[in-house]
Every structure is written in structure tokens, then in C-alpha cells.
Amino acid sequence: MARRTPRLRALVMASPPVLVAAAFIGLPVVSAVLFSFGYFGGFNSILAEIGQHEHLVTGTSGTLDAYRDVFGDSEFRQSLWATVLVTAASTAVVLVLSWGIALYLRLSGGRIGKMLAGLAVVPMFIPVVIASYAILEFYSPDGFLRSLAAAVGWSNAPVYGYTMVGVAFGQIWTNLPFGVLMMTSGLNAVPDALIEAARDAGASTARAVRSVLVPMAAVPTTIVATFTAIGVIGSFTVPYLIGPSAPNMLGPLMTYTFESFNQPQQAEVMAVVVFLLSAVIGAFYVRANLRGAKETKR
Amino acid sequence: MRMLIRRAGLAAFLLVFALFVVGPLAWLALRAFSGTWQYPHLLPDSWTLKWWTQVLDSADLGGSIRLSLVFAPVVTFVSAVICLPAAYAFARYEFPGRRFLLVALFATNAFPKIGLFLSMAGVFYSLRLMGTFAGVVIVQLLGTLVFMTWLPAAAFSAVPRSLEEAARDAGAGPLRVFFRVTFPLAAPGILVAMILSFLASFDEAQGTYLVGAPNYVTMPSTMYELVVNYPGQVAAVFSVLLAIPSVLLIALVRKHVMSGALAEGFQLR
């Protein structure tokens, strides 16, 4: 009895944040999935009343008609493709930059390393809305990049405002601090002795990095990759402000579909597609974490 | 020679990287004080403060500033009430379902934001939470749950058990031990979590706009309309204003963030 009471109390204490998440994340997600297949009972009833172009079912078997609508629309297919491309490209760049900076800081350190790391966390200080607007202006037709190019005699330098390249720049910019912080802390956790042992055994720096640092930092690397990818897939502000009107990423498209076109069912079909994409990515995150937790288990 | 090329390459990278990160912000800050600015000049042609008075005098914009300053503390407080006991439990006890709860909590991070917000909007219509104060608080709260639980949990587990035991041996009850020993020692970590939670709420734009508009339009969600409806300089002034609290508060916790404590918060233990 004396042992059981504190355990039960601990469970009760630990539950509230998970219950809040279950109520306001779990429940809406389940409702959205049901609604996308045409079930309109319960929490979806009001949505079903106000929405247009809906495919609702009364029986137990759902319908794929809303999915047919969405996948039959070429704008959606283009947006899906754009989303996948931007996500892959910006995740890759964030990974390379944060690995590079963290590695430089770990092996060389010094003033330049500190400057790089200091610069890389600056975006954390700035709200995403502002960053997006600033990036849009910076690469606009009368922005800094074009002005600088004109000053050195290049009068038709590219414009990245309202383009997908600009969106990718914005995604890299906003996701960089997390990547760099995570990789810096991950590489710092690798003991000096291990790197030196590899070097003593005759390994070059590149070899020591490949055979010691890369495997030892696998968990933080996975976390950076998955978090960045999920963050980019689920972003709205960056593509909405920086991107073209169409085809843009899925974030703006599903918001327009929900609010402006008043087609909540089609919007939630897109949300489900995005959930599926990130469920695949999220599985890697949870797996890497569980493996990491086992290794460090006290 | 190779050394020289390496150094030049590094310097060039540093310059480009600095421009990539800081350039857009500096460019926007200049715009907030610019009268006329003709392409392709690298600096404004004339300077003015009139955009600042325009922003500060506008009732709409002023109202959104006030609204942001109401939501952020409320969300931080609610988040602390919900998460701090959980943080203590995760740090100090082994209990059935601990692992499951941890994974469930972390899974909240694995939902792409905009899809989640749209799904929430569907349920919020039924619960009559669309366009309400409580609805906005809930949307902003969800972004704070994970680190409001995890950073304080790390702070609690860093308090040596021997200190608590010593206090207990000296005759202090469990509550007294908590408030006189454990809490004061964990306070800095908790403070960092609260500041980050305040900022997460203060900076949240997309969910707040979806759920709160048109009744509750906070500072960041005002930006969406501002960019379309006002001259660029007004948006620039507003941006500088909106960035001030973030810069000040994050500067306060900079050491803690850079030390890797934040990164640790994203790994299950």
C-alpha cells in the first residue's frame, strides 16, 4: 500500500498535459479523418452544415468521393509535389548546414565557430511572421539582393520573392536554430577520448568523423531531420507570405479550401494526406528516440 | 597556399551566411525608418518617423498589441498549472504507463501544425470555441505542452536527492521539503520554460488567426492583414515592435538555450 499510493499519485500528476493533448489534438485528428470519409456525426455535425460540395454518408461504409475530388484536382497534385520538393530540399540543407557548423565548432572551435553558431540561432529570436515578411522583401524585385547585384552591374538578377525558392529559403532560415542547437549538443556529447582514440589508431579526421561522430550522433541527426521535415510540411506562414499564389505548398492551399472556398471536407482530406506523410517521418523520430533512451537508460 | 584558400573559403562562407541570416532583418529595420527608397539604392533616400506615429496612433494595431500582452501571460499560467506537476512526476517517480505518456506527449510534436489547426477548427465549431478567448488560449497552449513539461522535468531531476533527504531527516514534511529545497533549486529551469512558453504564445500566428479572427486578432496575426493592406513601411514598423519582446526575453535565457539544455528537451529519457 505504501508503495502503491505514490505511484498512483504520480500517474495522476503526469496525466494532465497528455489529456489536454488527447482532447485537443487526438480527438480533432480522429474527427478529421472520419469527416474526410464522409461521416458527419458528433463533432463534425456543424462543419457538415456549413460546408459546401460535401460527400456525406448515412450508413457505416465511408466514401472516397472527397479524396477523388482532391486528387482529381491538378492544383492539389501540383501543391503536393511542391510540398514534397520544398520539404526534401530544405530538410537536406538544414541538415548539411547544422552538421557543418556543429562539426566545425566541435573540431576547430575558436572565434569563427562561435560566430557561426551565434549567427545560426538568431532566427530563434524572431517571430516567424516577421521573418517571412523580411525574407520576402529581401529577395523582392526592389530588395537587397537585386540592389546589390545592380550596384555591381548585374541588372537582371533573379527575384525570389513569391517563388518556391524563396519559400525554401524561408524554411531553411526558420528551422536552422533548432538544427544547429541539436547537432551542437549531440556532437558535444561524444567524448574527446573516442575521437582521439580513432586518430591514434591512424584514422584521418574525415575517417574519425565518419566512423565515430556520425554513428554516435545518429539520434540527434534523426531528430533534426524529422522535426525539420514535419515543421516544413505543416507550415503555413512561410509559404503563405513568401510563396506564389499557386501552385504553393499544401498549408496555404488547405487554408484557402477551408476558409475561402468553404469546402471543409476537401480541406480535411488534404490535412489527412499531410498527417500520413508526417506519420511516416514521425515513426523514424519515435524509433530513434526509443533506441536513444535505451542506450542512456540509467 | 592550401591554408590560405581554406581561410578565404571560410571567410566567404561566413559572409554569405551572415547575409542570409541577418540581411533580411537589417533590410526590414531600415525600411521602418525610410521615407522614399528607390531601387537600386542600397540605403533609403530619405528618413522619417511618420510610420511609427501612424502605427502607434492606429486603434486597431494598438488593440492587437494589448491583446497579445493579455494572451501570453494567461497561456503561460495555464500551461504551468497543467504541466509542472507532470514535470515533477516524470522526474521523480517510476509509475505504470510512464513511457506511454512520454511517447504520447512527444507525439504531439509529430503533427504538422496547419493540418492540426484545420482539424481543430472542425471540432471547435461544435464546441462553440471558434472566435472565443478560450479557443485561442487552447490553440496557443498546445504549442507549449512539450517543453513546459520537459524543461522543468530536467530541472527537477537535477536537484540532488540527498538534499531533499537531509531536509526530511531534519524533520521537514514533504510539502515543506518541496517548497524550501526542490522548488528553489529547480526555479531557473522552470523560469526558462515559462519564458519560452510566453514567447511561443506571443509569436503564434496561424492557429490564432484561424480560431480567433475576427474577434481576437493578436499582433502576429495582424501581420497577415497588414502586409496586404498597408504600405510596406507600416508592416516594417510593426515587425520591429513585435520582435522587441522576443529579442529581449530570449536574450535573457540565451545561455541556457545555447548550453544544450533546450536540445536535451527533445530527447526522451
Point out the least confidently predicted range of A193-197, B19-23, B55-59, B200-204: B55-59
Q: Residue B248's closest chain A neighbor by CA?
A: A125
Q: At A278, list the grid cell.
A: 508526417
Which among A10, A46, A219 has CB closest to B95? A10
Report the percent of chain A where pLDDT is more than 90. Answer: 44
How many residues in chain A? 298
CATH architecture, range B47-264: Orthogonal Bundle (1.10)
CB contacts, 8 Å: B212 with chain A:
none
Supply the pLDDT for residue A1: 41
* Chain B CB within 8 Å of residue A103 CB: no
Q: What is the pLDDT of residues B102-140, one digit of tens each?
A: 878 877 877 888 888 988 988 898 899 999 999 999 999
Nearest by CB to A271, from B28, B119, B247: name it. Answer: B119
Helix B232-252 to helix B219-229 angle, to the nearest 10 degrees?
160
Percent of residues, chain B, with pLDDT higher than 90: 25
Give chain B positions within 8 Å (CB) of A25.
108, 111, 116, 120, 142
Residue B222 has pLDDT above 80, yes or no: yes
Residue B47 φ then ψ, to 5°: -115, 150
Contact B119 A29 (CB under 8 A): yes
Contacts of A28 in chain B (CB under 8 A): 116, 119-120, 122-123
Q: Which CA distances in Å does A166 have to A171, A239, B28?
A: 9, 9, 16
Residue B173 confidence (pLDDT) above 90: no
Q: What is the pLDDT of residue A56?
A: 86
The residue-averaged pLDDT of A106-135 equals 88
What pLDDT score was predicted for residue A239?
A: 95
For residue B105, give the C-alpha cell: 506527449
Phi-psi region of A271 (alpha: psi -120 to 50; beta: other; left: phi over 0): alpha
Query: Min CA distance, A203 vs chain B (Å)?
Result: 21
Q: Do B123 and A282 touch (CB under 8 A)?
A: no
pLDDT digits (tens, 9 = 90+) for A137-191: 999 888 888 888 888 888 888 889 899 999 999 999 999 998 998 898 888 888 8
| Predicted pLDDT of residue A298 | 40
CA gap A106, A212 in Å, rounded = 13
Hey, what long-range contacts does B199-202 have (CB within 8 A, 24 or more apart)? Answer: B199/B72, B199/B245, B199/B246, B199/B249, B199/B250, B200/B140, B200/B143, B200/B144, B201/B71, B201/B72, B201/B75, B201/B76, B201/B140, B201/B141, B201/B143, B201/B144, B202/A127, B202/B68, B202/B71, B202/B72, B202/B245, B202/B246
pLDDT of residue A60: 79
Cα separation, A129 vs A12, whole angstroms:
38
Confidence of residue A295 (pLDDT cuts 50, 70, 90): low
- The answer to whether residue B265 scores a pLDDT higher than 60 is no
The neighbour count for residue B67, using CB atoms within 10 Å, is 21
Minimal Cα–Cα distance from B173 to chain A, Å?
15
CB count within 10 Å of CB B51 equals: 22
Pairwise CB contact (< 8 Å): A186 & B95: no
Q: For residue A271, name the pLDDT band (cuts at 50, 70, 90).
A: very high
Give domain limits for chain B: 47-264
The residue in chain A having the minimum alpha-carbon distance to the alpha carbon of residue B144 is A17
CB contact under 8 A, A151 and B40: yes
DSSP of chain A: -TTHHHHHHHHHHHHHHHHHHIIIIIHHHHHHHHHHTT---GGGHHHHHH-SS----SSSS---HHHHHHHH-HHHHHHHHHHHHHHHHHHHHHHHHHHHHHHHHHHT-HHHHHHHHHHHTGGGGS-HHHHHHHHHHHTSTTSHHHHHHHHTT-TT----TTSHHHHHHHHHHHHHHHHHHHHHHHHHTS-HHHHHHHHHTT--HHHHIIIIIHHHTHHHHHHHHHHHHHHHHT--HHHHHHS-SSS--HHHHHHHHHHTS--HHHHHHHHHHHHHHHHHHHHHHHHHHHHHHHHT--
Q: Would you kindly state where each structural domain of chain A is located, as residue ranges?
A: 65-297
Average pLDDT (A106-120) is: 86
What's the pTM? 0.90
The Cα of B248 is separated from the nearest Cα of chain A by a number of Å equal to 9
Q: Which fold is adopted by the domain A65-297?
A: MetI-like fold (1.10.3720)
pLDDT value at residue A2: 46
Question: Do the interacting molecules here have an ipTM over 0.90?
Answer: no
B residues 161-200 closer than 8 Å to A (CB): none
The answer to whether A278 contacts chain B (CB < 8 Å) is yes
Is the Cβ of B56 closer than 8 Å to some Cβ of chain A?
Answer: no
Is B263 in the A-facing interface, judged by CB distances under 8 Å? yes
Helices A128-138 and B232-252, interaxial angle, to 10°? Answer: 130
Radius of gyration over every alpha carbon of chain A, rounded to an integer in angstroms:
24
B121 touches chain A (CB under 8 A): yes
CA distance A215 to A229: 21
Grid cell digits, residue B217: 486578432
Give the pLDDT confidence score for residue B66 in this predicted structure: 87
Judge whether B257 is closer than 8 Å to chain A, CB to CB. yes
